[in-house]
């Protein structure tokens, strides 16, 4: 009597299906040489450009003014004079929600003042006439100026 491994027709069909599925899965391991569906070669990489720094160094004490609402001094700091972002320390008594100012970024030619949660408070552009200041509007729509 032969006591070896017996494969019944139903088991043979399952065995063949498993072998077929393993073969199909393994054929994808060859990359694009076998199937043409593998990873595509990388083209020339275009690294994102570094943000441009503001037209003047923002380090130091500034006066934030909202006409008809008040004014306060703010201390701006950055890692270097050419940095595109940094910190703000308001001195107190700031109009609107500017007492929550904590960060500034210079994005696409505009100075953005952000609160402690990173939400924008104002979007300012360089003042005309080269005064070194910035003018624009708070997110509430009120006009705002930042002067030395």
Per-residue confidence (pLDDT) for residue 121, from 0 to 100: 96
Fold for domain 60-147?
Answer: Lipocalin (2.40.128)
What DSSP line would sit under 20-55, residue for residue? HHHHHHHHGGGGGGTSS-SPPPP----PPPPPPPPS
pTM over 0.75: no
Q: What does the alpha-carbon distance between residue 147 and residue 73 come to, in Å, rounded to a whole number?
A: 9
Token duo for residue 57? 């160094």
Give me the pLDDT at residue 52, please: 77
The whole-number pLDDT of residue 57 equals 87
Residues of the chain with pLDDT under 70: 1-51, 130
Coil, helix or strand at residue 16: helix
Specify the pLDDT at position 32: 46
How far is residue 112's CA from residue 71's CA, in Å, rounded to a whole number? 18
Distance in angstroms (rounded) separating the CA atoms of residues 96 and 78: 24
Which 3 state secondary structure label does DSSP give 59?
coil
């Amino acid at each position: 009597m032969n006591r070896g491994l017996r494969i019944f027709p139903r088991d043979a069909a399952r065995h063949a299906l498993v072998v077929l599925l393993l073969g199909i899965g393994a054929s994808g391991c060859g990359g694009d040489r076998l199937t043409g569906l593998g990873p595509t070669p990388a083209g020339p990489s275009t690294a994102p450009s570094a943000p441009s720094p503001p037209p003047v160094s923002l380090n130091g004490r500034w006066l934030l003014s909202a006409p008809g609402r008040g004014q306060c001094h703010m201390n701006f700091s950055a890692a270097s004079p050419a940095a595109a972002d940094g910190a703000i320390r308001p001195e107190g008594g700031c109009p609107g929600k500017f007492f929550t100012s904590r960060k500034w970024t210079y994005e696409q030619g505009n100075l953005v003042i952000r609160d402690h949660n990173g939400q924008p408070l104002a979007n300012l552009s360089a003042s005309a006439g080269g005064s070194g200041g910035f003018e624009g509007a708070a997110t509430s729509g009120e006009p705002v100026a930042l002067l030395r």
